[in-house]
Amino acid sequence: MNPDDPLLKILACPLDKGPLHLLVQEPEDALYNPRLQRRYPIVDGIPQLLPSSGEQVTEDEHEELLLRISGGDPQTPGMTP
C-alpha cells in the first residue's frame, strides 16, 4: 500500500470509524489511529481492520508515531490521513 492509494480515503478504524494514517515501516506497513492509539497491520497488502487485529501502542510509541505523521511536530493540528 502506498500513500497515494485511493483506498486510504475510505478506510476507517473499526472502533471509532475515524480516519487512519498509513505507516510505512519494516517489516510490514500498518494503519494507525492516533485517537485510540491503535495500530492495525497490513499483511500482504491487505489491511487487517478487525477490532481484534488492532494493537494498542505504548505512550512512547504514540509520541513517536505522532512525530512521523505530522512531519516532525507532535502538536501539529489537523493531521491528515
Residue ranges of domains in the chain: 12-71
Rounded CA-CA distance 31/20 in Å is 6
Calculate mean pLDDT across residues 36-43: 96
User: Using an 8 Å Cβ cutoff, are 3 and 23 in contact?
Assistant: no
Average pLDDT, the chain: 87
What is the pTM assigned to this prediction?
0.81
Stated as kind and residue range, the H or E segment containing 22 is strand 21-23
pLDDT at 61 exceeding the cut of 60:
yes
Q: Report pLDDT for 80.
A: 43
What does the block give as the cell for 37? Answer: 492509539
Task: Say whether domain 12-71 belongs to CATH 3.50.50.60.
Answer: no
